[in-house]
Amino acid sequence: MFRAMQRLLSCVVLAFFCLSPGPTANADETPATAVVEALHDSLIVAMKEAATTSFDDRSARLGEVIAVTFDMGMIARISMGRYWKSFDQAQQEDLTAALRRLTVATYAGRFDDYSGESFRVLSEESAPRGTIFVKTELVKSDGDIVRLNYLMRSTDAGWRIVDVYFKAKYSELAVRRSEYRSVYKRVGLDGLMAAIEQKIKSYNSVIVQ
């Protein structure tokens, strides 16, 4: 299992650095750490308000911050690998939008309760091709710590997240790449889009108290 994950991660890293252009950072843009902190702040708010807000309300609020913290275009491209170029522009835009909605739904569904959790940034470290790793921790109410590392790239709009490493080693993008390509090879793009929409609906199960 671990070796399979390592192979997946190696494929994602190679794909990212082949697709990613050189650094475009400038002195005036918001630091990468600040982008991650903006996401964390919104997640804490969503958790604190979960008892009195609906899934749709949380999704709307988180959607705004995810739109300015994630590079969904790059995530979609890497997720589909060589198949990406076979899609026309409209298909690429539709898939990117679907993955954005899925990302929003995932966060709205997972961060649906608050019991004293907090985030803290540990470091910001340079990575190849002008990218940056922002290393953070989610501190649970019982003191348990979950490492969350963010791979960031500089875009024309500023620093954006392209991957999240759960427990500092499990790449979310590697999992997506494996899952989406597998579904696409079995049922094509329409089937993949349907599977993504079904997954989005599965998160919408929170009942307002």
What CATH architecture does domain 31-203 belong to?
Roll (3.10)
Q: How far apart are the first and last CA of the chain?
A: 40
Q: Where are the domains of the chain?
A: 31-203
Q: Which residues of 180-200 are buried (b: 16+ CB within 10 A; e: fewer)?
A: bbebbeeeebeebbebbeebb
**Would you state the pLDDT for residue 16?**
52
In eight-state DSSP terms, residue 4 is: H
Comparing CA positions, the residue from 4, 5, 3, 2 lying closest to residue 171 is 5
DSSP-assigned states of every residue in 113-164: --SS-EEEEEEEEE-GGG-EEEEEEEE-TTS-EEEEEEEEEEETTEEEEEEE
**Would you state the pLDDT for residue 2?**
36
Residue 64 phi, psi dihedral angles, 5° rounding = -65, -40
In single-letter form, the type of residue at position 92 comes to Q
Other beta carbons within 10 angstroms of residue 71's beta carbon come to 21
**Would you state the pLDDT for residue 115?**
92
**Would you state the pLDDT for residue 205?**
62
Residue-by-residue pLDDT tens, the chain, 209 positions: 434 334 434 444 444 544 455 444 454 567 999 999 999 999 999 999 998 988 999 999 999 999 999 999 999 999 999 999 999 999 999 999 999 999 999 999 989 899 999 999 999 999 888 899 999 999 998 999 999 999 999 999 999 999 999 988 899 999 999 999 999 999 999 999 999 999 999 988 644 33
Whether residue 147 contacts residue 129, with contact meaning beta carbons closer than 8 Å, is answered with: no
**Would you state the pLDDT for residue 112?**
87
Give, in order, the Cα–Cα distances in Å from 187 to each of 9, 10, 30, 176. 24, 26, 41, 16
**Would you state the pLDDT for residue 144?**
94
Residue ranges of alpha helices (H) inside the chain are 2-19, 32-49, 55-67, 72-80, 89-110, 172-203
